[in-house]
């Protein structure tokens, strides 16, 4: 048999079937099985690696963020963009939160507490009337008194030598004594320099030097909605209390009562929702840059978040007068009047719906024109209607008292009046209110 036949024979021999899986099972490399302990170590290592990796990644991100913020702040500083400012179309305005803190820190030392003390009758308990009079009774036959604290208010420095502005109603009691307490808890006896006859403003003074002074701003440029800060001796107990709000309204006219039956008309008043409480009276209302734009004076009763402040521009003249002469000099005209409107015009068949009708008060002594006053000397009489003063129309928003208050003693004014069907001009020279 040749080789070819052998090959064919071999080729024709039956071959034992071996599938791929079977071959694989036969020739598979032997596996090394790790002990269970080693597997646990590996799993634990992977877990710790992922946790620590996340932690260090977070820390690295924090450092990266801090580094980025630092670089950003430096760039803003170089470009004049302070981090406390936001650039808008109207210019640069301070971020509120940082600005409020800054204002309070810089200006609180300029705000003082005013403590009111007075000799009051001593109340005694007779020892036999506990159930009917447990708190004692006043001995009407005794003249014994004791010095007691009877009230408190707020003020702020307007001069380095101790001149302080406050409300007149805070220091209105001439029989009382007034003590100023500064933020460093030092006490000073206060002297009343002047009380304004028509505005709720008073100037007091303490002895000393180098007191921190607040900057007086411009209340004519206020906008409704802008932020304001009130600082004061709330309830006469919580000194340097800070409240934040906005300007809620401008040029308000209100009638404020003292709680003792007294009332006063206040005009050109700032309304705010910053908390104004008893004891805040006389304290400053500041704008977001720390300038005084008002003096806290009143709060609406029975409602929330309606407080009022005198406009600072209305008192600048008073402050300068007292600094210059030690007194307040206020001009007056000497008339009683009613502002006309459409309703009064129709009811009385008058030719004007504006102007001031000179009229008597309810009492016999409430003269329409005060005898000997500048108005009397100028020839004004009852039922005259003053239409204009120095060319300015008289109406509810531009009243005579407010106009005269802005003028000087000795200043001459020209009045356009209506009398019995005719218009005419009169002149008057303002005199000092006594």
Single out the catalytic residue among 234, 243, 248, 281. Answer: 281
Query: 378-399 b/e with 16+ CB inside 10 Å = b?
Result: bebeeebbbbbbeeeebbeeeb
Q: Is 196 considered catalytic here? A: no
Asked if 266 and 256 touch (Cβ cutoff 8 Å), the reply is: yes
Q: Are 297 and 255 in contact (CB under 8 A)?
A: no
Phi, psi for 229 (deg, rounded to 5): -130, 130
Task: In whole angstroms, give the CA distance from residue 404 to residue 430.
Answer: 8
Instruction: Based on the residue annotation, tell me whether 169 is a catalytic residue of this protein.
Output: yes
d(CA 236, CA 115): 8
Q: What is the DSSP string of 11-36?
A: HHS------HHHHHHHHPPPPPPPPH
Report the distance separating Cα 289 and Cα 102, nearest Å.
9
H or E element in which residue 91 lies: strand 91-94
Of 110, 196, 200, 373, catalytic = 200
Residue 200 falls in the annotated catalytic set: yes
- Helix, strand, coil percentages (3-state) for the chain, rounded to 5, are 25, 35, 40
Contacts of 313 (CB under 8 A, 6+ apart): 218, 219, 220
* Paired residues of 126 in beta bridges: none
Q: Please identify every residue annotated as catalytic.
A: 169, 200, 281
């Amino acid at each position: 048999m040749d080789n070819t036949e052998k090959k064919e024979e071999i080729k024709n021999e039956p071959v034992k079937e071996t599938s791929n899986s079977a071959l694989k099972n036969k020739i598979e490399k032997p596996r090394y099985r790790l002990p269970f302990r080693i597997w646990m170590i590996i799993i634990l290592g992977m877990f710790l690696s992922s946790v620590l990796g996340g932690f260090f990644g977070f820390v690295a991100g924090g450092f990266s963020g801090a580094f980025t913020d630092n670089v950003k702040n430096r760039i803003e500083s170089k470009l004049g963009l302070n981090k406390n400012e936001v650039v808008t179309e109207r210019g640069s305005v301070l971020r509120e939160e940082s600005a409020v803190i800054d204002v309070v820190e810089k200006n609180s030392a300029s705000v003082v507490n005013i403590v009111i003390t007075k000799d009051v009758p001593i109340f005694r308990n007779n020892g036999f009337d506990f159930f009917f009079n447990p708190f004692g009774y006043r001995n009407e036959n005794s003249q014994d008194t004791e010095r007691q604290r009877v009230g408190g208010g707020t003020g702020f420095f307007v001069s380095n030598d101790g001149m302080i502005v406050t409300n007149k109603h805070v220091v209105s009691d001439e029989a009382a004594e007034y003590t100023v307490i500064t933020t460093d808890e030092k006490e000073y006896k206060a002297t009343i320099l002047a009380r304004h006859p028509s505005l709720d403003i008073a100037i007091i003074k303490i002895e000393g030097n180098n007191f921190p002074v607040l900057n007086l701003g411009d209340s004519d440029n206020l906008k409704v909605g802008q932020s304001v800060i009130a600082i004061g001796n709330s309830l006469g107990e919580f000194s340097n209390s800070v409240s934040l709000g906005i300007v809620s309204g401008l040029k308000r006219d209100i009638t404020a009562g003292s709680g003792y039956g007294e009332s006063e008309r206040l005009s050109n008043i700032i309304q705010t929702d910053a908390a104004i409480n008893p004891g805040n009276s006389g304290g400053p209302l500041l704008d977001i840059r720390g300038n005084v734009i008002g003096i806290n004076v009143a709060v609406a009763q029975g409602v929330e978040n309606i407080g009022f402040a005198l406009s600072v521009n209305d008192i600048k003249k008073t402050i300068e007068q007292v600094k210059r002469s030690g007194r307040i000099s206020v001009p007056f005209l000497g008339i009683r009047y009613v502002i006309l409107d459409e309703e009064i015009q129709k009811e009385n068949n008058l030719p004007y719906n504006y102007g001031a009708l000179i009229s008597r008060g309810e009492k016999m002594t409430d003269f329409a024109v005060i005898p000997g006053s500048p108005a009397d000397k100028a020839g004004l009489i009852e039922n005259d209607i003053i239409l204009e003063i120095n060319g300015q129309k008289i109406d509810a928003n531009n009243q005579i008292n407010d106009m005269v208050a802005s003028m000087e003693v000795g200043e001459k004014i020209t009045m356009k009046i209506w009398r019995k069907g005719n218009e005419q001009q009169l002149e008057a020279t303002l005199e000092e209110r006594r």
